[in-house]
Amino acid sequence: MRLMLIVNTRASSVTPRARVVVQRALSGDHDVVCKETNRPGHAARLAQGAAADHFDAVIVLGGDGTLNEAVNGLAGSATALGALPGGSTNVFARTVGTASDPVEATDQLLAALAKDSVERVGLGQANGRYFLLHAGIGFDAAVVATVERRSALKRYTGPAAFIAAALSCWASGYDRRHPAFSVLAGEASIEGAYFSICLNSDPYTFLGNRPLRVAPGTDLRRPLSLVTFGKLTLATLLPVLVAALGKGPRANEGGHFTTLRDLKSATVVGSRPVPYQLDGEYAGEAQRIELSWSSEELLIVVPDTCSTSADPSFPS
């Protein structure tokens, strides 16, 4: 097979040794071209070029942000996407059952390629840009923007950078008194929202080794789930967080917490410009965000999950 290996050397877990070992392993049975990203959007252009040149697969050694760029270059093509963990959280790689060690993950990937273990999955879009995992609107996007302003710390502190940013935004960086937007989805209308997560897969993220499942049952083969908070208070958020960590009963729907499922489209209308992020990458602010879902948009390599260290959360 012809493979393009895209490496984000700035990703928190990517080391020179890991890159060499991964490239050597892939090159044992395949024709591999290795490219390094060096600026925002570069991975998207590399992936788009690989698809145009009819590569069989693009393998990304990096985090979810690099994967998001590759997705936007590969969507609708016949070139598959394979993920190797290189970021601080690696939500997608863990969701599909990839081992946390990039060398072991490469063995899984090679086994999957040998078996032609690929599958087409659906993708979400927000204002025309694809997302593989989720789109965060409001509070979590403000957190992501804060982290990106301190990107050097993210590489060395990992999840701690997000926790610190969340506390900062909670204290003074995000307006928790005045609703930011409304959500329209078919016949459903949610007024006065502060924070929404539009999910294409589950879990939303990981806290250490524990998945955070805010909309259990969401998967890459079905339309979107949309979780919306009408209040940003501890009394509203804590029951949802505890349940999402599997530590308590599912939080009651209604009132200030709503989940809509199997959505093919929705619209966010802001009372002011609203920040949003896609797959953990800040996308800017918009007063209107069009969300949509399309089936079988992306071909992915589904890893061999025989490894005991792999997370089995990808639905079979």
Residue 33 sits in a domain of what CATH number? 3.40.50.10330
* Same-domain status, 173 and 112: no
pLDDT score of 232: 86
How many angstroms separate the CA atoms of 192 and 267, rounded? 14
Q: Would 316 be classed as within a structural domain? A: no
Is residue 230 in a domain? yes
For the chain, how many structural domains are there in total? Answer: 2
| Chain mean position to CA 48 | 19
Domain check: are 134 and 255 in the same one?
yes
Within a domain: 308: no
pLDDT mean over 163-192:
86
Rounded mean pLDDT of 178-198? 94
Same domain, 133 and 162: yes
Q: Is the dihedral of CA 156, 160, 166, 171 positive or negative?
A: negative
75 occurs within a structural domain: yes
Residues 222 and 253 in one domain: yes
Would you call 179 helix, strand, or coil by DSSP? coil
In a domain, residue 313? The reply is no
DSSP state of 200: S
Residue 58's domain comprises: 2-123+297-301
94 and 153: one domain?
Answer: no
Do 49 and 162 fall within a single domain?
Answer: no
Residue 307 lies in a domain: no
| Range of lowest pLDDT (25-39, 115-129, 138-152, 214-228) | 138-152
Question: Pick from 147, 227, 235: which is nearest to 190 by CA?
Answer: 227
Task: Name the residue among 59, 51, 116 with its Cα closest to residue 79.
Answer: 51
DSSP-based three-state secondary structure for 280? coil
Verify that 205 and 286 share a domain, yes or no. Answer: yes
Q: Tell whether 92 and 197 lie within a shared domain.
A: no
CATH code where residue 162 lies:
2.60.200.40
The pLDDT value recorded for residue 111 is 96
Q: What is the reported pLDDT for 24?
A: 96
Are 138 and 117 within one domain?
no
Collapsing DSSP to helix, strand or coil, 190 comes out as: strand
**Rounded CA gap, 113 and 126, in Å?**
31
Which of 293, 287, 291 is closest to 273 using CA atoms?
287
Residue pair 304/117 in contact (Cβ under 8 Å)? The answer is: yes
3-class DSSP state of 15: coil
In a domain, 146, yes or no: yes
Higher-confidence residue of 316 and 297: namely 297
Asked whether the beta carbons of 9 and 36 are under 8 A apart, the reply is yes
Tens-place pLDDT, residues 258-304: 999 999 999 999 999 999 999 999 999 999 999 999 999 999 999 87
Query: In this predicted structure, what is the pLDDT of residue 249?
Result: 64
One domain, residues 215 and 181: yes
Does pLDDT of 243 surpass 80? yes
Output helix, strand, coil percentages for the chain, rounded to the nearest 5: 30, 35, 35
Question: Residue 156: pLDDT above 90?
Answer: no
Closest by Cα among 87, 82, 110 to 100:
87
216 & 106 share domain: no
Segments in 60-138 forming alpha helices (H)? 64-74, 91-95, 102-114
Between 209 and 202, the higher pLDDT residue: 202
Residue type, 150: R
Q: 151 lies in a domain?
A: yes
264 shares a domain with 184: yes
- pTM check: above 0.85: yes
